[in-house]
Structure 1
Amino acid sequence: MPGANGRAAGMLSQRTLKKTVQRHGEAHLGLTLHLIVGTYGNAVAHAIRVLLAILQTNVNDEDSIAMHPKERGVKSPWTWLKDHVDAITSGAAILGVIVGAVGFWVTWYQLSATTAALKASNTYTIQSDARELLDTLEQRNFVRALIDGKLKAEDEPNARFDLWKMFNFYLSVYRQSKADGITDEFRQSFIRDFCGFLARPPVDMQWKNMAAEKRLSDEQIKMRGDWCGAPS
């Protein structure tokens, strides 16, 4: 059964993991965009500073500027640039900051949208897996018979196996919640469902028996402690 435990947990979360990989690629694209935009803005500002420094050096000696006699008394473009070099440099720096801020906002927006889409996708996958599992359990009817006190002695192994599958399903949801892959509202709904299910005496007794027999993993024991508190 431990080998089947791993296979069941993997099957329940396989589609969710595929979606996670796809969305991770979109998040990486957003981060790359931010780096490109921010780096471009800084490069523009730096290039302008270097250009103005060169121009300032060239106009330190005004005699080096060839001017037509008729143009005496009229400031050349080089002189104007020299007079305003500080203001232009400051403007270039501000432009770099603005471009970087825009890049950061674009990245933040895309990451937020990607996270929301990922959680919605995970929610859909978990709900689909839950419906399939419930359909199977209803057809077998062993868990219902256990809860109603109508389980035959020879059917107890089947009921325990179905409970084990349910506990593995809850574990897959628990892992998604720990990875922030689902919304808090969705997580809370599963916490209520899981703890309410374990509050039934026949289910609680089987849980304790399976834990004593090491049929439950340490992570499943921790899940119950985190979600419901230590069993009495």
Structure 2
Amino acid sequence: MMIETAGHAKPSPDVALSLPTRLRAQIKQDSFSLNDEFIFERADYRICFAQGSEVLRNKLASLVERMYGSRGLHVYHAIQDLHPSRAILVACRGEHLFGTLTLGLDSKAGLLADTLYRPQIDAIRAKGRKVCEVTRLAIDPEYGSHDVMASIFQLVYVMSRLIHGMTDLFIEVHPRHAGFYRRMLGYRIAGPEKICPRVGAPAVLLHLPLEYADAQLRQFAGKPMSRERNLYKFSSPLRDLAALTLTLSPASANC
């Protein structure tokens, strides 16, 4: 199943960025049902899921090893990434895999970020909010761009927010990278600097209330020429996001 974006059309303010109630009722809140044939096509690259492909998983392992190793980080191969609560996204140009991240929903096993920051994340859970996280983000700088980052994160937004109803997205990053996520996506620092045992390097916890992403996408999606400095303007127009939500919803196939 291949999805192509319609370019940068003027977004309609009344486009509904949510699943119909009849579909949302069929979604499991703590696990993904992934379509291995899904492909999100862009001009010169594509994004798809890697869970069902040993070839893609091997390629992403090589990418992570190369990217993490070049920065002096420990390389960890997360068995948890194959858990139903996690979705592995990969970006490819031709046969070359150049980007990956894993989106994890909260489950009985919790989040990987709970290892260092459970009190901070539990404080959000205690408010009745639904948390998720991004882990294992690696993009080859030779192929990386704001468009690539925006494309990957808009899929994270659709899957976490629009399909599974998550309210809060966490990520652990090296302190020197925190400024980028704060400026370009609106993350806030939510936890102090600590040594992350998975990579053997300093990390801080960043927190993004997804209501902020809602507002930014409604204002900037599909407007790449905006003078605003954020990644949201590089996202697909709202109408395309709404269509993408229905396409990625496992329940929609039964309607």
What TM-score do the two structures reach when normalised by structure 1? 0.29
Task: From the two aligned structures, give the one with the greater helix fraction.
Answer: 1
Task: From the two aligned structures, give the one with the greater strand fraction.
Answer: 2
What TM-score do the two structures reach when normalised by structure 2? 0.27
